[in-house]
Structure 1
Amino acid sequence: MSDDSSLPTDTADARSSKARAKKRRRAVAAEERARSRRERRRTRSAKRREREGASPAEETTQQGAPAASTGLRGVRDRIVELWLRRIHPVLDVVSPIGWAVAAAAAVCWFLGISLRVTELNVIALALTVPLVLAALFVLGRANYRVSLDLQTHRVVVGTRAVGRVEVANPTQRDILPSRIELAVGKATAQFLVPRLAAGAEHEELFAVPTRRRSVLTVGPVRSVRDDPLSLMRRQVTWAKAQELYVHPRTVRLDEAASGFLRDLEGTPSSDLSSSDIAFHALRDYTPGDDRRHVHWRTTARTGKLMVRQFEETRRSHVVVALDNLAEHYASEDEFELAVSAAASLSAQTFREEKELTPFTFDARQRTAGIRPMMDDYTLVEQLRERISFHELGQKAADLAPNASAVMMVVGSHTTARELNSAANQLPIGVLAVAIRCVEEAEVRRSAIGSLDVVTVGSLDTLARALRAVGR
């Protein structure tokens, strides 16, 4: 498979593999239950022997033969173990089509022999021959050593994730050609492995196209043997699945475009303080004031102690609130634009080393680093339930009561009344901006009370729209 070739669509084998996977999970669960029963019986028998005073040698002899070796429970456990280890793997090789052909052949054999109808015997023979040939196709066992290697586990929407599958023959004998399947999300990639000599290796490169923000499961890698009629299929899993995070597309925003606070002192408030950065005025000294804030020149001129009075400042703390209610978006693409806009704002704030609180209605994104934050934005999904929009503003006030800027990213169906109700929940003095994401819309700015509203039609116009807020 070349790097430029895209993955094929879902195959019939991939669909049928889901049913087989469900059967395997049931078989594993049954085996776990049987193992648990055996452990409980061993524990009970050990306690009983302790009460009866059995010697260690007797315990060893009794434990050497499983407690399940006698009685009806022992017979049932042996039957379950025989089914799971011997019979079920063999029966699982036959496909649904193969079972249908086998059933038809059995009926024709029975009726043909019972009724002595030659035509039915001929039909039965014609159905039996393909089953025998299919069994020959799946006979044999291949001992591969398979490794799945992704170049990166995180990519951005629109870029290809490149990976490599290496198949090696660790045995001392040649292995016949086979087919390898690689599951990627709901699709399945297939490629042929040639005849491998002892110690030989074969490498296949693949590229995963990423058109949507998602978490793709790459793998597992399976070797497959089947017949041309798909009557029987034998597969062995060699490499486990790996996760591939497809991050939303983001753009860089310069400080002028971010619309955030840019002076080193933060935003001064009307609250007075005796210790801060923003100087306000001088006042008379009162007992308990810090003498480090005494203004000695004024004190010498007036003859009484004067201290500096400061204004409390609010450090730059940006809240990025993403509206993920499905009813507020006209399409999936519009919601993806909103996610990309929120991720761009959060990434820019993180790079500027400002305090950041990003969240949605149902989750809060991590801010320990760019990578975990983008991972969380990758997992954001639309909510189908009905929630009052003012809760978005209330949540912003609860999570960051000292925030200096709140950026609400919303969809085209969010009404002005809803925006105003959310803005009314924010603390007084906070810079509140609503970014409406409307596909193919021109950049424009409006206001709802103290709330600035900017409309963007594409991610590339986000920087230009935010410059208007910073003016």
Structure 2
Amino acid sequence: MTTAPPETAATGPAPLDDAPAPEQASWREVALYALARGGASLRTAAKVVRPLGWILIGIAPVLWIVGLVMGWREITVAAVVVTVVVLLCLLFMIGRTTYDVELDLTRTRVVVGERAIGALTLSNSGSRAILPSRVVLPVGAGRGVFGIKHLAPGEQVEELFAIPTTRRSVLPVGPVSIVRGDPLGLFERVDSRDEPVELFVHPKTVRFEGQSLGFVRDLEGMTSRDLARDDIAFHALSEYQPGDDLRHVHWRSSARTGVLMMRTYEQTRRSHYVIGLSTLPGEYADPDEFELAVSAAGSLGLRALRDAYRVDVRTQSGKLRTETQKHLLDALSGLDSSKPREGATAALAGAVSANAPSAAVAVLVCGSRVSATELQSAVSRLPVGARALVVVAALGQDAARRRIGEADVITIGALDHLPPSLRRVLG
């Protein structure tokens, strides 16, 4: 009689035949890891091959097969030449390209037409020399290319550059790329260094003297044309009306006239200056006219900020950042007229009124294609009681002034027309 060996707690149940052994599982993991690493290495290596390199790499084995199988010596010689050329070009990829890169822009904010000056410093901090290479510096949609010579250990080189600015924009400068390649252009290795820097190209603006729209400011704000029984800016005397505060009785005039006379005041409001800048392309004759409108809005906003107003600038796409002069100009630099959210100048005026109903000054800036009817509709939607001004950018036209409803409308054909036009409005 045979007896089965007893199961013990130490041995436990016998393993199933289908379960993989620990050694087999580990080898499988190693194989998968090796394949993954090999695939990543192949993808990295493939990135250095340029289109011409792929052509020669594909032609070489075909030439070898045809030459050896068919016995054509000429084809075999061609295969040897192509193979040697590919191998020689690969030698140029050997070596380090680990420069220490420093990108320095002297000014990250310039005005349209100015040149942004910068410096690119590359140094070899390693113990081995670095072969000659090219350095590519992207600037917006373009790029600058610098040829860097052989750098010995501890050596550094500085390249100065100037970025011309012709349009208002926000340009990304960088990241710097180090390019190593062969003379025939079969292979190219690109290593990115440093982080990109933003270059703000501000719109042109013009300075003008006096306050933004000639208001007299006091401790609480600016006087308006509305009269009040109780405020700070004294206006005139009027007869007593039931409910008037007796603290404002002018006793000397009351004794002289025999009638109780009360002081009346010009109502003051907070110094809130709102600019509505239309970004609808259909309202402008061309892109240059839109640039004129942006410059006009920027000039008015800067003057208001210097006068210590609280300034808001709104477009169809929303509110711009205007806490300081730098914030205002930076926001205007990135403003685009191609994708407004919705609505024309009249809708923009409604948005201004809805978001700043107690504004003291409301300015609309638009293009020459806005009709007088549309302007009248826009003016009627501005905040009630605010001093209203409309600036029409009409590139190349003569400066003009007219009145629509409660608003002064000035037309400017150039940025230099803005200061004298405002003086005529205030005069």
Q: Same fold (TM over 0.5)?
A: yes
Q: How far does the alpha carbon of each residue in 1:99-137 deviate from its partner, in whole angstroms, 9 at most, with x for none?
A: 122112222223333333333323323322221121011
Residue in structure 2 matched with residue 329 of structure 1 by the alignment:
284
In 2, the alpha carbon distance for the partners of 1:196 and 1:290 equals 88
1:308 deviation in Å? 4.3
Q: In the alignment, does 2:373 pair up with 1:417?
A: yes
Q: How far does the alpha carbon of each residue in 1:377-424 deviate from its partner, in whole angstroms, 9 at most, with x for none?
A: 111111456624321110111122122322211112111121111111
In 1, the alpha carbon distance for the partners of 2:287 and 2:324 equals 27
In the TM superposition, 1:391-410 aligns within 5 A as 391-410=347-366
1:279 deviation in Å? 4.2
CA contact (8 A) 1:420 1:451 kept: no
In the TM superposition, 1:45-194 aligns within 5 A as 76=32, 79-84=35-40, 86-194=41-149
In 1, the alpha carbon distance for the partners of 2:257 and 2:402 equals 52
1:253 deviation in Å? 1.6
Question: 1:246/1:290 Cα in 2 relative to 1: closer, same or farther (>3 Å)?
Answer: farther
Structure 2: which amino acid aligns with 1:114? Answer: V
Deviates more, 1:388-397 or 1:210-219: 388-397
Q: Which has the higher helix share?
A: 1
Question: 1:455/1:288 Cα in 2 relative to 1: closer, same or farther (>3 Å)?
Answer: closer
In 1, the alpha carbon distance for the partners of 2:404 and 2:251 equals 48
In 2, the alpha carbon distance for the partners of 1:406 and 1:193 equals 55
Deviates more, 1:379-388 or 1:264-273: 264-273
CA contact (8 A) 1:152 1:161 kept: yes
Match of 1:377 among 332, 340, 353: 332
The SS at the match of 1:375 is helix
In 1, the alpha carbon distance for the partners of 2:408 and 2:255 equals 49
Question: 1:460/1:322 Cα in 2 relative to 1: closer, same or farther (>3 Å)?
Answer: same
1:200 deviation in Å? 1.8
Deviates more, 1:241-250 or 1:429-438: 429-438
In 2, the alpha carbon distance for the partners of 1:445 and 1:339 equals 20
Residue in structure 1 matched with residue 407 of structure 2 by the alignment:
451
Question: 1:269/1:453 Cα in 2 relative to 1: closer, same or farther (>3 Å)?
Answer: closer
CA RMSD of aligned residues (A): 2.9
In the TM superposition, 1:6-405 aligns within 5 A as 76=32, 79-84=35-40, 86-255=41-210, 258-262=212-216, 264=218, 266-281=222-237, 289=245, 291=247, 293=248, 295=250, 297=252, 308-384=263-339, 387-405=343-361
In 1, the alpha carbon distance for the partners of 2:215 and 2:35 equals 73
Residue in structure 1 matched with residue 21 of structure 2 by the alignment:
none
In 1, the alpha carbon distance for the partners of 2:366 and 2:380 equals 16
CA contact (8 A) 2:133 2:181 kept: no
Question: 1:182/1:312 Cα in 2 relative to 1: closer, same or farther (>3 Å)?
Answer: same
1:298 deviation in Å? 6.3
The SS at the match of 2:381 is coil
In 1, the alpha carbon distance for the partners of 2:396 and 2:282 equals 19
CA contact (8 A) 1:177 1:195 kept: yes
1:280 deviation in Å? 4.3
Question: 1:238/1:355 Cα in 2 relative to 1: closer, same or farther (>3 Å)?
Answer: closer
CA contact (8 A) 2:95 2:130 kept: no
Structure 2: which amino acid aligns with 1:431? Answer: R
Structure 1: which amino acid aligns with 2:213? Answer: G
Q: How far does the alpha carbon of each residue in 1:299-344 deviate from its partner, in whole angstroms, 9 at most, with x for none?
A: 8889999764434223443221111001111211111111111111
In 2, the alpha carbon distance for the partners of 1:300 and 1:440 equals 63
Structure 1: which amino acid aligns with 2:68? Answer: I
In 1, the alpha carbon distance for the partners of 2:287 and 2:333 equals 14
Percent identity of equivalent pairs = 38
TM-score normalised per structure 2: 0.84
Residue in structure 1 matched with residue 421 of structure 2 by the alignment:
465
CA contact (8 A) 1:176 1:194 kept: yes
In 1, the alpha carbon distance for the partners of 2:399 and 2:317 equals 29
CA contact (8 A) 1:269 1:314 kept: no
Deviates more, 1:181-190 or 1:157-166: 181-190
Residue in structure 2 matched with residue 432 of structure 1 by the alignment:
388
In 1, the alpha carbon distance for the partners of 2:398 and 2:262 equals 54
Q: How far does the alpha carbon of each residue in 1:337-380 deviate from its partner, in whole angstroms, 9 at most, with x for none?
A: 11111111111111111232211111212221111111111111
Question: 1:125/1:71 Cα in 2 relative to 1: closer, same or farther (>3 Å)?
Answer: closer
Runs of 4+ with deviation above 6 angstroms:
71-74, 285-288, 298-307
The SS at the match of 2:174 is strand
Determine which structure has more spread, i.e. the larger CA radius of gyration.
2
CA contact (8 A) 1:278 1:312 kept: no
1:201 deviation in Å? 1.6
Question: 1:310/1:72 Cα in 2 relative to 1: closer, same or farther (>3 Å)?
Answer: farther
Question: 1:426/1:148 Cα in 2 relative to 1: closer, same or farther (>3 Å)?
Answer: same
Deviates more, 1:93-102 or 1:118-127: 118-127
The SS at the match of 1:391 is helix
Structure 2: which amino acid aligns with 1:458? Answer: A
The SS at the match of 2:104 is strand
Deviates more, 1:439-448 or 1:202-211: 439-448
Residue in structure 1 matched with residue 3 of structure 2 by the alignment:
none
In 2, the alpha carbon distance for the partners of 1:110 and 1:278 equals 103
Structure 1: which amino acid aligns with 2:128? Answer: R
TM-score normalised per structure 1: 0.77
